[in-house]
Amino acid sequence: MKAIIFDFNRTLFDPEENKLFSETIPLLEELKSRRVPLALITKKSKSRISEVKEIANFFSFIYFVSKKETQQFANIADQLSLPYSEIIVVGDSIEEEIRCGNQLGMITVRFKGGKFCSQEPKYNEEKPDFVCSSLIEITTFLNERILNQDKENENTIS
């Protein structure tokens, strides 16, 4: 795992409370301290730019889109100069983030909460690699991936 693409709404930001989830900043700080490149993809809306402002400095790239499509995720991978298989996509919508990431062969993590928590995958391409119900679980999953990668790098160098 070399980079992460995050969805914003209902993954890092709670629209019902109109604020970031309490675990968002600690998660992003942890990833930044480990020098993991981050990208953010979110739907355009009048309020979205101001909502994203608080965490914008954590991301290498921020994409405001009218509809999330596979090509946009491919473009982000190209911007990061990484193969798809080395990118993790974290999002709440199986029909958007998870499907798009899976179609490209990215690792997918579904944040199962809020509006889309009852959605179930209809097709194989909508099945995430990992499901969690809190950002703390995402942090644990990502830390395990990063630590495993660090150990692999140490073994390669030795």
Domain range annotation of the chain: 3-157
pLDDT at 22: 94
pLDDT at 45: 86
How many residues does this entry show for the chain? 158
Does pTM surpass 0.75?
yes
The three-state secondary structure class of 110 is strand
Q: Does residue 100 contact residue 125 with C-beta atoms inside 8 Å?
A: no
Cα dihedral: 129, 38, 5, 10 (round 10): 100
Q: Which CATH architecture has domain 3-157?
A: 3-Layer(aba) Sandwich (3.40)
Residue 131: its H or E element: strand 130-132
Burial of 120 (0-12, 13-18, 19+ CB in 10 A): exposed
The low-confidence residues of the chain, meaning pLDDT below 50, are 156-158
